[in-house]
Structures are given as C-alpha cells and as structure tokens.
Amino acid sequence: MFVSKPNFLVVGVPKGGTSSLFNYLKQHPEIYLPEQKELHYFSFEELKKNLNGPGDKLVLSSVLKSFDAYTALYNNIEGESKFGDVSPSYLFFSKSVIPAIQEKLGNQVKIIITLRDPIERAYSNFLHQKRLMHENLTFDQALQQEKKRKENGFGDFWRYSEHSFYYEKCQAYIKAFGAENVKIVLFEDIKERPEGLLSELFDFLGVDKSFKAENLNVIYNKGGVYKKDGLTSFLLKPSCLKSTVLKYGGSFIAKKYKRFKQGVLEKNTLEKPKIEENALNYLKQLFKEDVQNLKTLGVDTSQWKHFADD
C-alpha cells in the first residue's frame, strides 16, 4: 500500500516567520500542508525529555507520536505534488532529527530553513513566553538563568540564546541532504519582500513560481506585547481545554478562532520595550562568530541590524 508522506520540510527557526510561511505556502494549488502546522513528529523523542518548565507539558498535546498518525495527515491529498511539514523544532534538534528524516523520508527531501537576526529572535522568544505568562524574569535575568533552567529540565523553548546559534545546524542539513536540496531564507525577507521570496521558494520546490499568494501583508503569529485583560489573557495563555477544542473542532472553528484572536490582539498591541543594554552587549559578543560563519554558507547577514557592520 502506497503511503503519502512529506517531500519537503520547513525545519525552523522558532520565531523566524514559519507561521507566515506556512500560511503563504498553503495557498499554492500544487502544495499540500496539513491543517495543523507544527507536527514535531521527528523531534518528539527529544521534546519529551525536558518538560519541567511552566507550560512545557502542554506542548506535547498536539505532537504526532507515531508514523501512522503522521502519514495519516497526508491521506487527503488531491492532485498536489509537494507535501510539507512545518515544524520549527527540527533545526534545533538536528543531530537526532536528521537521521530520523533520512530513515523515514529518504535523502532527497527538500529542506527550507528560516533564520532571523539572532538577537531579535531570542528576544521574540522571550516575549512569547512573557505573553503566555510563563516568564517572570527580565530578558537579561532570563539569559543568565538559561544554563540553570536547562540543568533543571526546562524545555528547549526556554533556551532563548541557544536557539539562535544557526551555523552548525544549517551545515549539518546541507551535509546530509546536499546544498541543492537546502534553501536558507531570512525572516527579514519574508517580512519585507514576501512575493519575491515565495517565487524563489516555489522554484526551489519545483512548482509554478508565478503563482501569487494572497494576504502577504499579514504577519501570522505576530510577536510583540499586548495589553493585559481578561480576554487577551484567555487568548494568549495556553490551556488543555482550548487545545482540545481547536484540535478536534475542525478547520472551520480553528480558522474562526485564529481570525478572532488576530483581530483582538491587533487592537491591543503595545509598544515593544527595548532590549536591556546589558543583554544586547552580551548577545552581540555571544553570536558574533556564528554570524561570521553563516556568511560562508551564503547567508546575507547584512540585513541583521545588530551585525550589519560586522
């Protein structure tokens, strides 16, 4: 019996535009993506090792745990030629994920990697945990606690700076699948020139690159800071009940909820606080070598404001 399974993956990074990319790619008539964005099938074994941080256990509620359940999501394909999986954890856990991908999907799967200014990505990661009401430290304090939290079994999403080291992980994917099968894109390009970038991605995937996606001005899963009240707290704070309703309520309910949430949050957006000077200086030095190494892979880091002069 023939089993449909992904032939391309968007492997990360978290807070790097994968939600927007998911919604843009999904519109193409030759591309199939399941309704659920983050499947995390290939990283499940790693994710379940560290669940001691606030909200960590809830992350596993929507993760695909078996290959049968994973491939079942691709049973509804109707003429599409490219089938994708957008799971931002696959880059971070590259050491264990790459062999698992090769075993289940082969060596010719196409890999899309999204990167973002590492400092901005780390800060957005921190603000995300703040919005969920899990994080109670300042950004500077949280960075200093990162090692201790890791030792105490907090999940990977608490490792704000560690998630922003890209070079070795990108290099590992290129070595495993070949440079011709790996496409590195920047969050900054997703935001500033989505139409041109999508044309490049469609060409990379081997589908009609002239297709024009809609709503390219919409940034999905937008970060930032929001006014706290009962409604925004309900919409932002995860819960098992909400996850269950959205998971089993069907695509209609999920889409209606997303539109409602987006509208409420847009009306309650506050100005994002600046990164503390101590944190900024610390991270500039921390990521300097990694950013330099990325240039050898052809990554245009000049768009990253914190490293534009390096």
pLDDT in tens, 162-188: 999 999 999 999 999 999 999 999 999
| pLDDT reported for residue 309 | 73
| pLDDT reported for residue 38 | 92
Query: Alpha helices of the chain — where are they, by DSSP H?
Result: 18-25, 44-47, 56-59, 67-72, 89-92, 94-105, 118-131, 139-151, 167-177, 187-192, 194-205, 230-236, 240-248, 250-267, 277-295
Is 10 in contact with 21 (CB distance < 8 Å)? yes
Q: What average pLDDT is seen over the chain?
A: 89
Split at pLDDT 50, 70, 90, the class of 159 is very high
Find the mean pLDDT for residues 147-160.
Answer: 97
| pLDDT reported for residue 169 | 98
Phi then psi for residue 33, to 5 deg, are -130, 135
By C-alpha distance, which of 84, 132, 74 is closest to 110?
84
Find the mean pLDDT for residues 257-286.
Answer: 80
- 8-119+161-215+289-302: what fold? Rossmann fold (3.40.50)
Split at pLDDT 50, 70, 90, the class of 246 is low
- Show the tokens assigned to 302: 């000049």
Instruction: List pLDDT tens digits, range 33-46.
Output: 998 899 999 999 99
Instruction: List pLDDT tens digits, range 209-225.
Output: 999 999 888 777 666 66
Split at pLDDT 50, 70, 90, the class of 146 is very high
Find the mean pLDDT for residues 55-76.
Answer: 90
Find the mean pLDDT for residues 94-108.
Answer: 97
Find the mean pLDDT for residues 282-295.
Answer: 97
Which residues have C-beta within 8 Å of that of residue 308, sequence separation ≥ 6? 301, 302
Split at pLDDT 50, 70, 90, the class of 265 is low
Classify the phi-psi angles of 298: left when phi > 0, otherwise alpha if psi is within -120 to 50, otherwise beta: left
pLDDT at 86 over 70: yes
| pLDDT reported for residue 227 | 61
Tally DSSP H helices, then E strands, for the chain. 15, 7
Query: Alpha helices of 111-214 — where are they, by DSSP H?
Result: 118-131, 139-151, 167-177, 187-192, 194-205
Find the mean pLDDT for residues 200-209.
Answer: 98
- The size of the chain, in residues, is 310
Is 115 in contact with 186 (CB distance < 8 Å)? yes
